[in-house]
Amino acid sequence: MQEIHQDVLETAIDHLAEKGFFIWDDFIAKDEVSNLINTIKQDKAAGEFKKAGIGKQVLHQVDSSIRGDYIEWVDRQHPAPVVQKFINKIDELRTYINQTCYLGLKDFECHFAIYPENTFYKKHIDRFQQNAHRVLSFVLYLNENWQKGDGGELGIYPDKEEHIVEPVAGRLILFRSEILHEVLLSHKERISLTGWMLDKDMSLTFLQ
């Protein structure tokens, strides 16, 4: 491991196994947070964001009564070095989780998300028939100066317990994709980088 401290990795694994989720503050440095925010602003201005839908391919539909965010998928082709750095860190985490938990995580996918004022994402799970390969979900929040009353918290419900997670800049939440969760009504624009670790190499999906 180069970037990530061993202690926090071990704690993350323990929490994932015991509770199903782990909150990781300051996952990236402050200047990286600013760089990602600027990247989102530029990409938004360049028209890279599309209204997010539910379901994949032919079953894809846009329904604002379920989710109101706009997304841009990002991968290693994205030109911003800060995106590459984040992806490398997620990959390092994926490798470590595989070595310790044998989850067989082969790949990941991720997108930037913008929730405009007064939007939300209703209760759902990330692993379902059409997204059967999502094993772990992660969300990096990028809301500088987030304050109580701004809304847009993540509600996460493992075993009927309720946890409310504030979407503060630099915080990453990692959780098992079958856990019920929602984005509560956001009273301000809310930005994040959301992704999934997958038990399948997506470059091979044509074999499906």
Ligand X SMILES: O=C(O)CCC(=O)C(=O)O
The 122-161 site mask, x for binding Fe ion (CB under 5 A), equals: ----x-----------------------------------
Q: To the nearest whole angstrom, how small is the minimum distance from the Cβ of residue 8 to ligand X? A: 21
Comparing CB distances to ligand X, the nearer of 12 and 139 is 139
Q: Scanning the structure block, which residue is given the tokens 């998928």? A: 73
Comparing CB distances to ligand X, the nearer of 95 and 124 is 124
Residues making contact with ligand X (CB under 6 A)? 113, 121, 126, 139, 154, 181, 183, 192, 194
Integer CA distances (angstroms), 22 to 109, 119, 206, in order: 19, 25, 33
Which of 10, 3, 100, 56 has its CA nearest to residue 196?
A: 56
Q: Cα separation of 156 and 5, whole Å?
A: 26
Instruction: Tell me which of Fe ion, ligand X, none is bound by residue 139, counting a contact when its beta carbon lies within the kind-specific cut-off of 5 to 8 angstroms.
Output: ligand X
Comparing CB distances to ligand X, the nearer of 1 and 132 is 132
> Could you say whether residue 69 binds Fe ion (CB under 5 A)?
no
Q: Degrees (nearest 5) of the Cα angle 62, 80, 36? A: 65
Instruction: Tell me which of ligand X, Fe ion, none is bound by residue 183, counting a contact when its beta carbon lies within the kind-specific cut-off of 5 to 8 angstroms.
Output: ligand X
Which residues face 183 on adjacent strands? 121, 154
Contact 181, 136 (CB under 8 A): no
Q: To the nearest whole angstrom, how small is the minimum distance from the Cβ of residue 1 to ligand X? A: 26
Q: What phi-psi label fits residue 56: left (phi over 0), alpha (psi between -120 and 50 degrees) or beta? A: beta
Q: To the nearest whole angstrom, how small is the minimum distance from the Cβ of residue 99 to ligand X? A: 26
Q: What are the two backbone dihedrals, phi and then psi, of residue 133, each rounded to the nearest 5 degrees?
A: -95, 0
Q: To the nearest whole angstrom, how small is the minimum distance from the Cβ of residue 137 to Fe ion? A: 6
> Which residue type sits at 37?
I
Comparing CB distances to ligand X, the nearer of 3 and 56 is 56
Q: Which residues contact Fe ion by CB under 5 A?
A: 126
